[in-house]
Structure 1
Amino acid sequence: MMNSLYRDKENFLKYLDAIRGYSPLTIRSYNDSIDTMLRESEIEISEGKVRINLMPLRLKIASLKSKSISCKLSAIRSFVKYLRLEGKDVELRGDESIKIPKTLPKPIAHEHILHALEHAEPTAKLAIILLYTLGLRISELTHLRLKEIDQGWCRIHGKGSKERDVPILKNIAELIGEYQLHSPSVEYVFELQGEKLSENSLRYIITKAFAKVGLKVTPHQLRHTYATELLNNGARIADVSELLGHASMATTQIYTKLGNAIKMDHYRKSHPLCNNVEDSQC
């Protein structure tokens, strides 16, 4: 009977790929989480009903970080929801959520990005510029097609097969054209020997470019920086939310908190009564 759940898992992963448009990296994470659930949980199947007790699993992963545990539980809940939509009677126990401490995004100083660009190889240079000026996820950069960059706009294929149009400056589009002269591709902006560059390949190229100048920077931090710069320079939060492809404006709100944190830090460093005093005093 357990074999049927493994078959259901394979069908679920195909659904995430073909219907939801999830990235290979995300699908692999879901696969690992569900495999762990099937292996470590107490599962009883009788009279057409599936009973899953996650408590043994939670004891097994208790030493992990809160965010890792939450991600695993989220993947399992999604799988169970899929099973129910497929008409299966599933009872899930021990899936209570855990609190995750909120962390602010970590943008990169503009001058640090410029410094990295000065020393970056052509592929890394263009990838960094596109992430920084379009606010893309690394998965979106991987799927960026040449034919979808036209007349000052760029069509982005985001999470869950959602599409959005993002403005692209003329000089940035020209950089893509110049890159194509030396590294021509057929369909995607970034290809190697006729094949689209993978997320992991682009991620490695970008992090290596920053490491060359002594900085530890992830591609997603460039997306954070894009959002932060727009908001700090007067862009409307509704517009930024749409440009980022956020499903809810509440997700974008975190960047306004970041802006307030930066302003408070500048205030403490600049005001004469705030120099060399504790935070509680100022």
Structure 2
Amino acid sequence: MNYINDYITSFLGYLKDNRGYSETTITTYKIALKQMVEISEIYEENGLLIIDIKKYRMAIFKQNKKTISKKLSAIRSLSQYLFQIDIKNRVIGDDSIKTSKTLPKPIQKNHIDEAIKQANLIEKTILYMLFGLGLRISELSNVKLSDIGSSWINIVGKGDKTRELPLVQNVKDVIENYILVYKPKYYLLEVENKKFGVYHIRTTLKELFKKIGIKATPHQLRHSFASEMLNNGARITDVKELLGHSSLETTQIYTKLTDQTKLKNYLSSHPLCKVSHEHN
């Protein structure tokens, strides 16, 4: 199936031109996907592109877990891209393996404040929804006008689970202003009577933060929301519910991040550390 190679070439171009991936990352993806195509069984069945990577998994099983995880991530990203370009597909044998969790990288609050100053109304609405409510990008894309109440908003998350989030006044004001100006009909974020897709939201946010000279992703804003909440005394169980996490273990990653922030602040203000720094 030669066209799978055409899909991969298109995908790698998308990562470079639209997602801003580095040449190193793109090369890593290219190598992993080339190996996958050579070993895996790829065929069509009932209008579905099947990518069976079980043999590929067997070939790489002796590699370390992080390497395997990165290769599987490349394959999953390709699968998601294919869906974006209307190529229905199914990956067989991509079961996750457990790897040590790395800390998320939130955007610094001063960068977010600067972005807000630079934002137009659409950008500001996206920014407030992601940072002000801690939404996943897919959740924001699917917010309907009927989900928005006077004080609460209903969010449909992973597994179609619905959670109710409180609307703080400044987020509510931005939403009301946006609706007044753009008059969406069904979804909160619409363009030409169709909802903003994930790609559209991601690109809009990318361009906003580009104005202030930094790279940022929607998911980093979700990380920022969680970190700010915990740093300001919110209970971890409450943050878990706000984020829509099914497990407290997932939310606890952010406590490690806030501990690092507290340690950094402690070391920067500790008198002995100051003395040591001055002597250096």
The alignment's TM-score, normalised by the length of structure 1, stands at 0.68
1:267 paired residue number: 266
2:56 paired residue number: 54
2:70 paired residue number: 68
| CA 204–95 in structure 1, closer or farther in 2 if over 3 Å, else same | closer
> How much has 1:172 moved relative to structure 2?
2.0
> How much has 1:95 moved relative to structure 2?
7.7
- State the distance in 1 between where 2:95 and 2:177 align: 52
Deviation digits for residues 99-120 of structure 1 (CA, Å, limit 9, x no counterpart): 6343211122222111111111
- State the distance in 1 between where 2:53 and 2:190 align: 47
The runs of 4+ residues in structure 1 deviating greater than 3 Å are 33-39, 50-57, 64-67, 70-75, 94-97, 275-278
Q: Answer whether contact 1:73 1:95 (CA < 8 A) is retained.
A: no
> How much has 1:164 moved relative to structure 2?
0.6
Q: Answer whether contact 1:122 1:179 (CA < 8 A) is retained.
A: yes
Q: Answer whether contact 2:36 2:53 (CA < 8 A) is retained.
A: no
> How much has 1:41 moved relative to structure 2?
3.7
Q: Answer whether contact 2:133 2:165 (CA < 8 A) is retained.
A: yes
> How much has 1:67 moved relative to structure 2?
3.6
2:25 paired residue number: none
Gaps of 5+ in 1: 1-32, 44-49, 76-91
SS of residue matched to 1:165: strand
Deviation digits for residues 99-152 of structure 1 (CA, Å, limit 9, x no counterpart): 634321112222211111111121111100111111000000100111111021
2:6 paired residue number: none
- State the distance in 1 between where 2:207 and 2:96 align: 39
| CA 191–35 in structure 1, closer or farther in 2 if over 3 Å, else same | farther
- State the distance in 1 between where 2:96 and 2:196 align: 39
1:19 paired residue number: none
Alignment of 1:202-241 (within 5 A): 202-241=201-240
Q: Answer whether contact 1:41 1:56 (CA < 8 A) is retained.
A: no
Letter in 2 for 1:201: H
> How much has 1:170 moved relative to structure 2?
3.2
Letter in 2 for 1:194: N
2:103 paired residue number: 104
> How much has 1:35 moved relative to structure 2?
11
SS of residue matched to 1:150: coil
| CA 153–51 in structure 1, closer or farther in 2 if over 3 Å, else same | closer
Letter in 1 for 2:154: R
| CA 95–191 in structure 1, closer or farther in 2 if over 3 Å, else same | closer
1:130 paired residue number: 129
SS of residue matched to 2:126: helix
Identity between Structure 1 and Structure 2 (%): 40
1:171 paired residue number: 170
2:189 paired residue number: 190
SS of residue matched to 1:247: coil
1:46 paired residue number: none
| Residue range with higher mean Cα deviation, 262-271 or 185-194 | 262-271
Question: May I ask how many residue pairs the two structures share in their alignment?
Answer: 222
SS of residue matched to 2:164: strand
Alignment of 1:112-123 (within 5 A): 112-123=111-122
> How much has 1:68 moved relative to structure 2?
1.9
- State the distance in 2 between where 1:241 and 1:51 align: 34
- State the distance in 2 between where 1:269 and 1:148 align: 44
Gaps of 5+ in 2: 1-31, 43-51, 78-92
Q: Answer whether contact 2:131 2:224 (CA < 8 A) is retained.
A: yes
- State the distance in 2 between where 1:133 and 1:226 align: 7
Q: Answer whether contact 2:206 2:216 (CA < 8 A) is retained.
A: yes
- State the distance in 2 between where 1:117 and 1:41 align: 47
Letter in 1 for 2:70: S
Instruction: Give the superposed CA RMSD.
Output: 3.5
SS of residue matched to 2:228: helix
Alignment of 1:239-278 (within 5 A): 239-275=238-274
Deviation digits for residues 26-77 of structure 1 (CA, Å, limit 9, x no counterpart): xxxxxxx99986862489xxxxxx9954356528x99x955423547999xx
1:143 paired residue number: 142
Q: Answer whether contact 1:135 1:226 (CA < 8 A) is retained.
A: yes
| CA 262–54 in structure 1, closer or farther in 2 if over 3 Å, else same | same
- State the distance in 2 between where 1:74 and 1:111 align: 34
Deviation digits for residues 223-250 of structure 1 (CA, Å, limit 9, x no counterpart): 1111111111111111110110001011
SS of residue matched to 1:166: strand
